[in-house]
Amino acid sequence: MTASILSDSLVSPLGIGSETNFNAIREGLSAIKRIEDVTLSPVPFYGAQLSHPEGDDTLTRFERLSVLSIKNALQKNSAQFDFSKTIFILATTKGNIELLERRDKSNPALLLHTAADRIAKHVGVDKSTVVSNACTSGVMAVILAKKILAERNFNHAIVTGTDVLSRFVVSGFQSLHALSDEPCKPFDADRRGLNLGEASATVILSSVHKSPYTVSGSATTNDANHISGPSRTGEELSMAVKKALANAQLTNTDIDFISAHGTATLYNDEMEAKAFNHAGMGHIPVNSLKGYFGHTLGAAGLVEIVMSLQSLKQNELLATKGFNKPGVSLSLNVIARPEQRPLKTFLKTASGFGGCNATIIIKKEL
């Protein structure tokens, strides 16, 4: 069974709303800046930081950002549906982890399921659940929504991916020496690492209302390689790509473009290049959007799904900001500049710590 995508939203440092963010990317704008904030890091770093979202003071910054994204998606949704038959799915890696920095260790909102409940109830939804599986969380949350809707216990799913910058997160990536001291350059020969970012993205899916945009296939695999290092062969991500194609009853020739994870780290970019070539897709246009938003962790998959949906709607391939010359061992057709062309189907991939991989195929019915 396919699940229809009724509406979507993105709140990022580039603006509020999917169209606003897409237009900013079209213009080549990036949210990545030099950040000098001692509450996040004793030394400056490059990343994408949001202003403080307004909203209910009883909610945390993380929760207000999520609510803002959801409400924006709901406002765009023309279909009327019963919230009693709706489930909310939160995708995040760290949730309200910043509460620890305030020495608020007893706050129940530190628990991800509590944060999800608080967000859901604030928008009128009673049932919620959480997907927290490193940086595949956003894609996996959409996969889970499709499976839940297939069981017919719910008619609709609101899926939101959110992560925010915190001292905990920044220091963690600094300890891995993974942060670039300049704006990131996915798949580029001169890449020096990733930039962190914060955002909230939402998609609303339905099994009873139809739209031209459907989740038609998906799959997950695991490298079982290393807690923080991806596979050195790319075979496991390639397996997930092939399974998603089979699940959607498509072949690699049906994919118009790939929205890659593309973190601009040495091992991730190389692994994805190998995976796409293993799957016979090295020639297919591929982009990474990390140069615009930074790596938004558990939100990244949804951020990039939402922007890729806009690509389908506008029939426009988005460029990979920061890419100048190939820096992986196998050939990739990295999109270096925007291009108008008919688009019908895209593949989204995500990979994360622990070796997790997730793939999803979204199709536009003409």
Q: What is the residue extent of each domain of the chain?
A: 3-206, 213-364
Sequence-separated (6 or more) residues with CB below 8 Å from residue 336: 319, 320, 323, 324
Note the pLDDT tens digit of each residue in 76-135.
877 777 899 999 999 999 999 999 887 777 889 999 999 999 999 999 999 999 999 999
Q: In this structure, what are the phi and psi dihedrals at residue 133, rounded to the nearest 5 degrees?
A: -135, 70
Fold match, 3-206 / 213-364: yes
Architecture (CATH level 2) of domain 3-206: 3-Layer(aba) Sandwich (3.40)
Sequence-separated (6 or more) residues with CB below 8 Å from residue 92: 62, 112, 115, 130, 132, 137, 161, 162, 163, 297, 298, 299
Handedness of CA 100, 228, 291, 361 (dihedral sign): negative
Mean pLDDT, each 10-residue run in order, the chain (366 residues): 91 98 97 97 97 83 96 86 93 94 83 97 97 98 97 95 97 95 98 98 96 96 85 95 97 98 96 98 98 98 98 98 97 97 98 95 92
**Structure confidence at residue 100 (pLDDT):** 87
Biggest CA-to-CA distance, the chain: 53
**Structure confidence at residue 77 (pLDDT):** 79
CATH number at 213-364: 3.40.47.10
> Which amino acid is located at 338 in the chain?
P
Which region holds residue 65: left if phi is over 0, alpha if psi is between -120 and 50, else beta?
alpha
The tokens for 52 are 């403080």
**Structure confidence at residue 2 (pLDDT):** 74
Query: Cα-atom radius of gyration of the chain, to the nearest Å?
Result: 19
**Structure confidence at residue 82 (pLDDT):** 86
Give the CA count within 13 Å in the CB-facing half-sphere of 119: 37
Is the distance from CB of 12 to CB of 293 less than 8 angstroms?
A: yes
